[in-house]
A = this chain, B = another copy of it.
């Protein structure tokens, strides 16, 4: 018998590709950084960086199949807002990030005035760092039922917005993409916006970055991963994705710690003997050590700041406010904030 259903739940937050024995990242900007660090030519990838006050906006365009292979990211546009000071919980900066987020979504997405939008909050509401999507959905100003059942309740400047949190496979027993497809077939939105918590390669970005993309959600491509994409192809309409890194995998921390030691030793190494030593230390060996280290608690180990509950609430507020602003042109900062309460 198998009661321990938690072990069999695919871990949507894991940034570690257990098949490839290497950290993987959900963020295009990190994939670009890794590629650059590996001194790879970035053909097929265009990037533009702009600093707006305390926010760095990186706009990456994966233009070709070659770029796709290079970054491991589907062809399309990825915009990242990096805001290290977001963790200081300054309300003025939070408001500014909501505004910037609205502006970047407006620029990236094609949202006609009369478009009807379905927002999908992915993740498990009862696992704090995975709850971002459902928490954003709760804070949206949802209007579809008002347009239908209370005609005249809303004036001009509101779009038709619906919002759902489909839950996760381990709790529902149903592939999330199946649930979303079923709902889309009934609601028939023009646009779907998917919100999800991501895993980051780097502690710097945890609760301090927001990624927008026009590619939808692509599951990892590893062996055994049977999850389906949530994108234009599977849903039959435009799909945008908003992601916020909320954890780093413990395996990534362990990996980075090992790499730091190795690179430090390499610098101090006196000669060829040592170099040889390190060359013999394969990534397979390192990977074996990490497995050994983390084995007792398995691959669901995450590294989070102690204040993770507060950070998630704050970030959900920032994202929801940005979405309210961009979805309902008549809303201003006050009414958008009011709706998110």
Chain A interface (Cβ within 8 Å of chain B)?
Answer: 1-6, 8-11, 13, 84, 88-92, 125-130, 137-138, 141-146, 149-150, 153-155, 160-167, 169-175, 178-179, 181-187, 202-204, 206, 226, 250, 253-258, 260-262, 264-265, 268-271, 273-274, 276-278, 280-281, 285-286, 289-290, 292-298, 300-310, 313-314, 330, 334-335, 337-339, 341
Contacts and interface: CB of A to CB of B under 8 A. Distances in A.
A142 B172 contact: yes
27 contacts: A2-B146, A3-B89, A3-B141, A4-B89, A5-B339, A9-B145, A127-B309, A128-B308, A145-B174, A145-B175, A146-B173, A164-B174, A164-B179, A174-B187, A182-B186, A206-B296, A253-B253, A253-B257, A254-B256, A257-B289, A258-B260, A258-B261, A265-B277, A270-B276, A274-B277, A301-B303, A301-B304
Nearest to A2: B153
7 interchain residue pairs of minimum CB distance: A182-B182, A144-B173, A162-B173, A254-B257, A142-B173, A257-B257, A2-B153
A203 B254 CA distance: 13
B277 A269 contact: yes
A289 B153 CA distance: 28
Contact of A171 (B142, B294, B303): B142
A172 B226 CA distance: 28
A163 B171 contact: yes
Given A167-B164, A173-B162, A88 B301 contact: no
Contacts of A149: 8, 10, 226
Nearest to A205: B296
Contacts of A4: 88-89
Contact of A261 (B163, B286, B296): B286
